[in-house]
Amino acid sequence: MIKLITIALGLVFICGVAIAEDTASSSMDMGFSNIDKNSDGTLTLEEVAPESILARSFTNVDKDGNGSIDAGEYQLFTALTESD
């Protein structure tokens, strides 16, 4: 019986973590999509609000230095700024 309860609690925890990750990912996707005005899958400095922290950090967020921020770079940026 204790084994069954332990397994059930473990499954509840895993499902809760998965839902939280999906929600965070969806929020990130919505933010990225809202900024990506031309829907090309990247953010340019022209698409970013001029006074935003993203604009001020643009060259640091653009890890590969190609002049645009892709979804992975944006996700890293949001993860770092949310933890502050």
CATH code of the domain in which 6 resides: 1.10.238.10
When the pLDDT of each residue in the chain is averaged and rounded to a whole number, the result is 78
The domain of 10 spans 2-82
pLDDT over 50 (residue 16): no
Distance CA 19, CA 28 (A): 14
Contact 78, 69 (CB under 8 A): no
Residue 66 corresponds to which amino acid?
N
63: phi then psi, degrees, rounded to nearest 5: -60, -35
pTM value?
0.65
Cβ neighbour number for residue 62 with a 10 Å cutoff: 19
pLDDT band at 61 (very low <50, low <70, confident <90, very high): very high
Overall number of domains in the chain: 1
